[in-house]
Amino acid sequence: MSTAKRQQTMAKRNRERAVEEKRTLKRLRKQAARSERAAGELRELEPYAEVPASVEPEPEPEAEGEPGPDAE
């Protein structure tokens, strides 16, 4: 065995850097997808929210001169 260490090549450094960048991008994509799902779940709950009791639909005004849908 030789006593001197072999110098790391530029190609190996570039490969390692590429792998690390790929892992980082994948981690970021996963985090973005996770936050999208969380936001989507919150949006799904909105239609099921209760209508406050103080808010009531206004009755439609009836015109006396116009016949209703049952009149012919």
Q: Summarize pLDDT for 4-37 with one digit per residue, the tens.
A: 788 889 999 999 999 999 999 999 999 999 998 8
DSSP string, 15-54: HHHHHHHHHHHHHHHHHHHHHHHHHHHHHHHGGGSPPPTT
Domain assignment present for 1 = no
Domain assignment present for 38 = yes
| pLDDT above 60: residue 71 | no
Domain assignment present for 6 = no
Which band of pLDDT confidence, cut at 50, 70 and 90, is reported for residue 45?
Answer: low
Domain assignment present for 41 = yes
**Residue span of the structural domain in which 18 resides:** 11-45
Domain assignment present for 37 = yes
Q: How many domains does the chain have?
A: 1
Cα separation, 65 vs 44, in Å, equals 45
The model scores a pTM over 0.75: no
Domain assignment present for 18 = yes
